Amino acid sequence: MSHVYFDHNATTALDSRVLKAMLPFLTTQQGNATSRHAYGRFARDAIETAREQVANAVGAYPSQVVFTASGTEANNFAITGMAAKQPNTQIAISAIEHPCVTRPAEMMQSRGWKLAKMGVNHQCELDFAQLENALRVPTSLVSVMLANNETGAIQNIAGVAELARKNGAYVHTDAVQAFGKIDVNFEALNVHAMTISSHKIHGPQGVGALILDKRVDIAPFMLGGGQEKGLRSGTENVAAIVGFGIACELAIEKLHEHALHTQSLRQQLENGLQALNATIFSHHATRLPNTSFFAFPNIEGETLVMALDKKGFAVASGSACSSDSTEPSHVLLAMGIAPDLARGAIRVSFDASNTVEQVSAFLTILKQELKRLQQMVAMAA
Ligand SMILES: Cc1ncc(COP(=O)(O)O)c(C=O)c1O
């Protein structure tokens, strides 16, 4: 049985061209980028080339790129580092953030900062009235994600930034899911800081970046040897950074072509889902082209994921990043979706390698499995 991978929002396969660029740094080029000798200089040059590639892909300057060990780390760095310089004020985040934004914001709350969580509407779009309301209190930082990892809903970050800046707050956006799927431009978004991650764009796992306006007063995340301008000490993971740089180049090269392809697969999928009476979340929002999040009443998402896995399809349920939990997705609850329906949520996320045939086969299997599970539910009732 061949397996079909429909979980590209969770992670993506390493591109062979990325691996090729990384290999020398995992084998013969063992230099530490802080060393003065030829090996060290070679590693340093490779890191600076990658910094340019990352910067070019997001409309930033190389000097604005701070490499981190993951998107999670970049988010933690942004939240704790930017807030730390303005004690005893407020951090405002949306209710649909990834836990790697929410948890550090809650940690700061336990240390004395106020925390505002702004809601979203039924389509997963930020409630701007709640943002305006939150900004009536002195606020050090506003953090709203560019695209949601579950629904794919895209937020008006330039609009968030305008309001936040008017009120003297720093603005951060988690662009981990958006980057590589839609155009992401640091300057146009007008934020002070933006997070991206390599493994969502066919780069290696375990490397990310915080794109940072140099004028921002931010506390370092790691103290030590002073790498990354003293903001993130620790010997650089040269191979991963090199891979991230190449992945960035490749991601933007065919971005529009890939977006059109995944969007047409999603249309095919959602036509089939509608025929099966699925509820499609954020159906009317501006969404990432590759993402579809849906549910069937009375069928647990986890159960359907396992059934589809047995038939050779890898998809995600509710909160994919914590799929050991059976709690309904906090994103769907924030959208006002009933918990029972939210527990049924399934996410399909495509990439350029997926095909029309795979989607057709998926719909056939889905129909069969749904029928089987619905019969089981009816018998148990
Ligand atoms: C929206 C969002 N932010 C941050 C992250 C974390 O990135 P990383 O896996 O590089 O730590 C993820 C990962 O799924 C994500 O979806």
Q: Tens digits of per-residue pLDDT, 202-217? A: 999 999 999 999 999 9
**Same domain, yes or no: 171 and 105:** yes
- The predicted-structure confidence for 109-160, as pLDDT tens digits, reads as follows 999 999 999 999 999 999 999 999 999 999 999 999 999 999 999 999 999 9
Task: Tell me what pLDDT residue 325 has.
Answer: 55
Dihedral angle computed from the Cα positions of residues 276, 281, 287 and 288, in that order, rounded to the nearest 10 degrees: -70
Confirm whether pTM is higher than 0.85. yes
**Same domain, yes or no: 65 and 162:** yes
| Of residues 321, 332, 323, the one with CA closest to residue 302 | 323
- The predicted-structure confidence for 153-197, as pLDDT tens digits, reads as follows 999 999 999 999 999 999 999 999 999 999 999 999 999 999 999
Q: Is 100 a catalytic residue?
A: no
Please give the number of the atom of ligand 1 that sits closest to the Cα of 320.
14
Q: For a pocket test of ligand 1, which of 73, 94, 177, 241 has the largest count of ligand atoms closer than 8 A to its C-beta?
A: 177
- The predicted-structure confidence for 38-81, as pLDDT tens digits, reads as follows 999 999 999 999 999 999 999 999 999 999 999 999 999 999 99
Structural domains in the chain (count) = 2
**Same domain, yes or no: 276 and 359:** yes
Strands 279-280 and 291-295: antiparallel
**Same domain, yes or no: 195 and 47:** yes
Q: How many CB atoms lie within 10 A of CB 14?
A: 17
Domain that includes residue 309, residue range: 4-12+255-380
Domain end among 225, 253, 281: 253
Give CA–CA dist 381/375, Å, rounded: 10
CB-based burial, 93-109: b 16+ in 10 Å, e otherwise: bbbbbbebbbebbbebe
**Same domain, yes or no: 191 and 268:** no
Task: Tell me what pLDDT residue 379 has.
Answer: 85
Side chain identity at 157, as an amino acid letter?
A: I
**Same domain, yes or no: 238 and 105:** yes
CATH number where 116 lies: 3.40.640.10
CATH number where 327 lies: 3.90.1150.10
- Report the SS3 class of residue 245: helix
**Same domain, yes or no: 87 and 162:** yes
**Same domain, yes or no: 65 and 8:** no
Distance 136 CA to ligand 1 centre (A): 30
Q: What is the mean pLDDT of the chain?
A: 96
Q: For a pocket test of ligand 1, which of 149, 150, 157, 207 has the largest count of ligand atoms closer than 8 A to its C-beta?
A: 149
pLDDT over 70 percentage in the chain:
97
**Same domain, yes or no: 234 and 101:** yes
For the sheet containing 139-143, what is the strand order? 65-68, 208-212, 193-197, 170-174, 139-143, 90-94, 114-118
